[in-house]
Amino acid sequence: MKVPAIAKINLGILAGSVEESYANFTVSEVNDHVVRLSVMTGTYDWHYHPNSDETFMTIEGILLVDLEAETIELLPGQLLTIPRNTIHRTRPKGERSVNITVEHRDMETVIVSSDQK
């Protein structure tokens, strides 16, 4: 979904319209980065990004970010940046989380096996 450069975006309405168990789409572009809205009800695979850091900000629910040695819990309004090449996975705590992610427009995602933790 591409939104015009100057537009007020209601993230609550966009998130409320998602019916899939996982949705991740661009809502804005900033220079060579994108701002994405992510709505999830299940666990995303273990993965890493070799060419971009990734910033998460929770806006609804609680997001769990699993790293190899710990799990970080993000409450609404909290922000966390995962450095490039860091293996991680995301999942909601409870039924659903809604999050903003900021990442390089050409970010690569490399899925790793589930036993990498």
5-20 per-position pLDDT tens digit: 678 899 999 999 999 9
Query: Is a pLDDT exceeding 60 seen at residue 115?
Result: no
19-45 per-position pLDDT tens digit: 999 999 999 999 999 999 999 999 999
Query: What confidence score (pLDDT) does residue 85 get?
Result: 98
Query: Is a pLDDT exceeding 60 seen at residue 116?
Result: no
Alpha-carbon torsion, ordered 69, 111, 15, 18, to 10 deg: -130
What kind of fold does domain 11-116 have according to CATH?
Jelly Rolls (2.60.120)
Query: What confidence score (pLDDT) does residue 117 get?
Result: 44
Q: C-alpha distances in angstroms, 105 versus 2, 39, 40, 92, 101? A: 13, 19, 21, 24, 11
Query: What confidence score (pLDDT) does residue 62 get?
Result: 98
46-90 per-position pLDDT tens digit: 999 999 999 999 999 999 999 999 999 999 999 999 999 999 999
Domain boundaries, the chain: 11-116
**For residue 106, how far is the Cα from the chain centroid?**
15
